[in-house]
Structure 1
Amino acid sequence: MTLLVVHLVLTAAYAGFQWTVRGVVYPQFTQVPAAAFPAYERAHQRRITPVVGPLFAGQGVTTLWLLAARPEGVPLVPVLVGGACLAVVLGLTGLLAVPLHRRLGEGFDDGAFARLLRVDTVRALAASAGTVAAAWLLLVSG
């Protein structure tokens, strides 16, 4: 049961983080003067990494643990759904969001920013679905 609670806390914390970034942090990017934006973006990248890194790592550990040594009575389907959601988030982050941030680190670009917002919306939705799957696990296993 402790594993399921920790897993839910990590997935919910990440989803909350992701919605905060999408709804608060990224919209502020447009308020930064163009000349200052590259330094602002690089600072954002440095500061966000120590926040998101442990959330990704924790979810990775709990998800792999649930996949490798699923406790008795814990259904497989919500574990797989949660794992798929995490895979979507990590894939979008590594393949799209990080390169878009690198591009923005060279200077604000309307097209790159619009793509980042779209990617981030999908990440936030996938993170939310992962939280639903984690809650489902706890509800059906408790």
Structure 2
Amino acid sequence: MLALAGGAGGGWLGHDRIEEAHAAARVAAPLIGIIIGAVVAALAMITRALDTAFLKKAKAAGITPMSKYFSPFITIITLGLLAGVSLLLLSATKQCGNGWSTAFGAAAGLFTLWTLAGLLPALGTLIQFTQLLEKTAGIPEPKE
């Protein structure tokens, strides 16, 4: 719902107030970059923990598949990239009221707020994965 409101607001700014849309893009672009960086760092922490010993313990505990812990992060990275491209295209528009400024404003607002709103569930996945690490810490390594 928040993303749709962002899309409507971005479309309105692109249609009627291009200078304000450009100002919002100057604020949103670095924020999207920070979010993508944080999500990539969280994804790196998860992949670092996925060594062979941990995967054997998780399999012995019946905790599979591990790929479900990646999807929220990949989604946020994808949305962030779409937001960044939309913000770049919005910044390149010179006049308001044309179809391009409205479309780019709507896309930028939609993807930017969707990225922001999706950050909390992704961080919740990181907490779940940390709990999973704790749960498997007490499991002895299976013998081969």
What are structure 2's unaligned runs of at least 5 residues?
132-144
What does the per-residue CA deviation read over 1:91-130, in whole Å, with 9 as the maximum and x for residues that have no partner?
3134x313421333x1223234225424654665576566
Matches within 5 A, 1:38-57: 39-57=19-37
Asked if the contact 2:3–2:113 (Cα under 8 Å) also holds between the matched residues in 1, the reply is yes
Asked if the contact 2:10–2:106 (Cα under 8 Å) also holds between the matched residues in 1, the reply is yes
Partner Cα separation in structure 1 for residue 39 and residue 33 of structure 2 = 10
Change in Cα spacing, 1:51 to 1:64, as seen in structure 2 (3 Å) is same
Q: Which amino acid aligns with 1:88?
A: T
Which residue pairs with 1:110 in the alignment?
99
Partner Cα separation in structure 2 for residue 63 and residue 102 of structure 1 = 30
Structure 2 residue aligned with 1:77, among 67, 79, 84?
67
RMSD between aligned residues: 4.0
Residue 24 of structure 1 deviates from its aligned partner by 7.2
- Match of 1:66, SS state, is helix
Change in Cα spacing, 1:70 to 1:117, as seen in structure 2 (3 Å) is farther
Count residues in correspondence: 119
Identity, % of aligned pairs? 11
Normalised TM-score (structure 2)? 0.54
Normalised TM-score (structure 1)? 0.54
**Normalized per residue, which structure has more helix?**
1
Residue 81 of structure 1 deviates from its aligned partner by 0.7
**Which structure has the larger Rg?**
2
